[in-house]
Chain A
Amino acid sequence: MARYVSFRDFDWLLLGFVLLICGIGVTEIYSATLHTKFAGAHIKQMYWILGGAAVMFLVSVVNYQAILEQVHWMYIASIASLMAVLIFGQKYLGARRWVKIGGNHFQPSEWVKLILILAVARYFADMRQKELSWPDFIKAGMIVGVPMLLVLAQPDLGTCLTYLPIAVMGLFLGELRLKQALAVLLLAGLMLPVGWHVLKPYQRERLTSFMNPDADKQGSGYQVIQSQIAVGSGGIWGKGTAKGSQTHLAYLPVPQTDFIFAAFSEEHGFVGALGVLLLYFIVLMRLTQNAQTAPDRAGTFVVMGVVAVLSFHILVNVGMVVGFMPVTGIPLPLMSYGGSSVLFMFLALGIVMNIRMRRFVN
């Protein structure tokens, strides 16, 4: 069937917008790391993007349906890799998130996300009932729940939470009933005090400092306050590239990764920040459109899984930067500096392209 597949059907428009966001990200990384010890990070980021694009093209030619057939093996492998991290992982800043393979640090939780999207899509695509039954509901929850618990144990609350939208999106599109939704919310409400108990002290601190950032201005409230000052002081038009005082005098923590949107907002103002949000919105709308035209239910679920993860990242990251969300250490996809994040996005886009290119097949 591969002969029906053509790069003419590749979503060049989507790729164009994605690369535009990446380009803005690279410029901001350049600006934010200027004269710091991270200077030159934007070059590395460009390599990651080029590598990611190549991987995207590679993934797009392998039929996604063939991949979906093997997804249970991948799922087992990802559970195994998460366990391996817990056992053999490198401890850094109090958490085990990395395994060293060869000379490279490898963070499996990022790839697990992709496999979860596929696994959830396969599960719901194979479902035969119109309405979601309770056993199916619980099984679907388990598919996502088990890796979530493993990542939480690392402990990495941020990444753990990014798995959640995959399940929510799957359940929603899989005709989740209102009763079931209420049951989940009720359960979550009951679990809240228990969850608070399970959280590490630094995580609790982040939550309390989010609720009341003035309580500890120099401690964990610092990042929240400094980020809001950066964004707010940018005003309507911004301070100009490489002129943000919050970014360049190191008041803003990690301006090239988690707080890149704050750095960008400081230097390019409300107009620039709104422009970037618009670009993300276009990308998301374009992805949803691709989901609608997917050749089968599985394709739709996969693309919507990507939409869920991407939207969640944007909500949490930008929400954190403007002070709506607590500090969780979740990067802004396509803009934040970091190989794992870039490669994940391009792999996910590769699968989206894959599905789109096969929309007229069958």
Chain B
Amino acid sequence: MLSRDEKVSPVRLTAVQYIILAIFLLLAYGLWRLQVIEQASYALQAEKNRIRNVPILAPRGKILDREGRVIVDNYPSFTALLLRDQSRDLNADAELIAKGLHMTPDEIRSRVRRSASMPQYQPIFLKEDITPDELAFIEAHRNELPELDTIMAHRRLYPRNGFMAHLIGYVGEVTEDMLNQPQFEFYDPGDVVGVSGVEKQYNQMLMGKNGSRRSVVNSHGKEMQQLDSTPAIPGKPLKLTIDVDLQIAAEQALADKNGGIVAMDPRNGEILAMVSRPTFDPNNFAVRISREEWSKLVNDENHPLLNKAIQAQLAPGSVFKIIMATAGLQEGIAQTMKVNCTGGASFYGRYFKCWVTAEHRVHGVVEISKAIYQSCDVFFYTLAERLGIGRIAKWATALGLGQRTGIDLPQEVSGVMPSEEWKIRNFKQKWYAGETISVGIGQGAVAVTPIQLARALGGVASGGVLRRPHVAFPGDFPGNVLPASDLPDEVKVPIDPANWEIITDAMANVVNPIGTAPSAHLQGIDFAGKTGSAQTISNVAKARLANGKSKFKDNGWFVGVEPRRNPEIVVCALLEEGEHGYLAARIVSQVIKAYVEKERRQPTKMARSKADKVQIAGVWNLPDEHDGSDRLQAGRFLVDLPKKRLPLATAARE
């Protein structure tokens, strides 16, 4: 029996002391291991925790017109972020945040839930492109809602309402596919690159180089202190050959009819205006486009995303007669040719009608000049028969049909110029002589783009000098921008001066009372051109299928030059389902008129009328890079640039 005062075994007490000593030695060893042996590795990890490289986004270069007016600008766009600060109850704050950002609390809560599996330092993107009052809300609630933050990105500000949209193109985030291609090897995921138009063609020049900043970042990704930074190199501004005044005239001339216009200076190939309809508003892509909106654009049967000036391949119709005339005269056949037009003629056992029968008239005796300004089909059927497809194809190809013009825009199409070889290559069939007759009036398998026609007719009017069209000034490019095409800048097709005069004089008569487009006549302006009305479907099929349905209406074409010889400008208009070339001629005449009036230092009627003015990117200031102001007129709203506020750490890449 033990008494209450019996002592506890001193051996066991001593044992406890040794056990405690052992525990402390173990802990001391743990500290030694971490703090002495592996100190360097842990110090490095602490630095990696603490310091993050935050990209400084470089703004893309502005796009300017030939006179330096800003067409495409950038504006600072703010995205609202939610930092997952563990000391905040995000569910409770959701009400206030939702109110300030015009969202619903449930929307915010579900975003927080969905991001639960993401690393804590990665902030949640709440709302892109927030409005100034939402930005003001975040700034005003810095203390109450420390988990709210913003990140600034430069977004593209394009002209409104699809003005020049096809030429400019638009930008988008670089895709996985693109990153796998060698030419994109220096791009990072998340980079914004040009996807179409000039934005794509001159992406390398327009895209700046992002800088980076080493910053001390806390565990919620909030930037606490800046260490050092490499500045971003902004993209270079791109000056286009486009003249905004002329572009406005062209946009308004085409209005909302389907088709395209291209205006070019044939002396040097500079594109002065380029329009395609229907159009789209690239500003809708600048932030994010909804799936429905995108599929609507892609599936629209009028192809709003297609730049018809370089991507529509259609039969040129009677405009082709200028190529025929050139071939006929140069081959020495057309000069002496006289044909009696009785409203049609038979070739190879088939009767071919002249368009004039529709008006219950005949052309009578026709020589080359009248054949051009009256667009007599019978004359050109006969000429085609005499020339044969070989010589027609030779001249059409020399004048650039059936091949790319080499314009510095992506996805130009080549069109088709049929020939015997072409038929065998593509159809494994012999060319039938009867097919040549249709080709003579620009029907059959001939398919051209507006840019090809403009270049070809501009070339003929210039006496046989064809220039490669371009929208940017070649001299402006830094060395690393590759030329758009390996096609030659200049092609010479020798045309005899006498023939040149015959053709150009006949073209001038087209817009005279004796021609096919008298309503396009411009008083006091040496305007010349050629109409075309091309069938989109054969007459037989048309009669069978459509009872005059708009779907099978003829396409109207007109290519006009000013002045008639050695022109300063050539304009090609395509009016889809426009029925008649003379309607297209009126459109071209408006553009030519705007050009001449500007040349004569007269402001165009369009520029004078205020109500109708096209809204181009908000900024119309001179193209100098920095105006030093803290406020930027950014078209859609005034943005106050935050003063000396630390930008945010997000999207941080290590």
Q: Which residues of A contact B (CB under 8 A)?
A: 36-37, 125-130, 169, 172-173, 175, 218, 222, 226, 228-236, 245-246, 249-251, 253, 265, 269-270, 273-274, 277, 280-281, 284-285, 288, 291-292, 295-298, 300-301, 304, 307, 311, 314-315, 318-319, 322-324, 362
Contact = CB atoms under 8 A, between A and B. Distances in A.
A232 B50 contact: no
Interface residues of B, number: 48
Contacts of B39: 232-236
Contact of A300 (B7, B35, B220, B224): B7
A129 B6 CA distance: 11
Contact of A270 (B36, B50, B224): B36
Contacts of B5: 295-297, 362
Nearest to B87: A37
Given A233-B42, A292-B10, A169 B16 contact: yes
Interface stretch (B23-31, B522-530, B585-593): B23-31
B32 interface: yes
B4 interface: yes
B34 A288 contact: no
Given A229-B46, A231-B35, A298 B4 contact: yes
B16 A277 contact: no
Nearest to B2: A128
Nearest to A126: B4
B217 A285 contact: no
A251 to B, nearest CB: 5
Given A270-B31, A322-B33, 9 more contacts: A230-B46, A235-B35, A236-B36, A250-B86, A265-B31, A274-B31, A277-B27, A292-B13, A324-B30
A231 B42 contact: yes
21 contacts: A229-B49, A231-B34, A231-B35, A235-B36, A236-B39, A245-B50, A246-B46, A249-B219, A249-B224, A273-B31, A274-B31, A277-B27, A288-B17, A296-B5, A298-B4, A300-B7, A319-B27, A319-B30, A322-B30, A322-B31, A322-B33
Contacts, number: 154
A210 to B, nearest CB: 14
Interface in B17-65: 17, 20-21, 23-24, 26-28, 30-36, 38-39, 41-43, 45-47, 49-50
A200 to B, nearest CB: 19
B36 to A, nearest CB: 6
B216 interface: yes
Contact of A304 (B13, B36, B41, B218): B13
Contact of A307 (B4, B16, B35, B47): B16
A16 to B, nearest CB: 20
Contacts of B438: none
B23 A228 contact: no
Contacts of B119: 218
A232 B30 contact: no
Contacts of B92: none
B13 A291 contact: yes
A296 B2 CA distance: 12
A277 B119 CA distance: 35
Among B17, B36, B42, max chain A CB count under 10 A is at B42
Contact of A311 (B7, B20, B43): B20
Among B2, B7, B31, B218, max chain A CB count under 10 A is at B31
B611 interface: no
A228 B35 contact: no
A315 B23 contact: yes
Contacts of B541: none
Interface string B504-545: 000000000000000000000000000000000000000000
Contacts of B16: 169, 172-173, 288, 304, 307
A236 B35 CA distance: 6
Contacts of A301: 8
B43 A250 contact: no
B12 interface: yes
Contacts of B34: 228, 231-232, 322-323
Contacts of A36: 87
A172 B18 CA distance: 14
Nearest to B119: A218
Among A36, A270, A291, max chain B CB count under 10 A is at A270
Contacts of A292: 10, 13
Given A169-B16, A249-B50, A233 B31 contact: no
Given A301-B8, A307-B16, A311-B20, A229 B1 contact: no
B27 A322 contact: yes
A232 B192 CA distance: 41
A233 B17 CA distance: 32
Nearest to A228: B34
Q: Which 9 A-B pairs have the closest CB atoms?
A: A232-B42, A322-B30, A233-B46, A270-B35, A232-B34, A249-B218, A250-B219, A218-B119, A233-B43
B335 interface: no
Contacts of B38: 232
Nearest to B33: A322
Contact of B49 (A126, A249, A300): A249
A319 B25 CA distance: 11
Contact of B23 (A37, A298, A311): A311
A250 B220 CA distance: 8
A333 to B, nearest CB: 14
A235 B5 CA distance: 50
A197 B36 CA distance: 39
Nearest to B224: A249
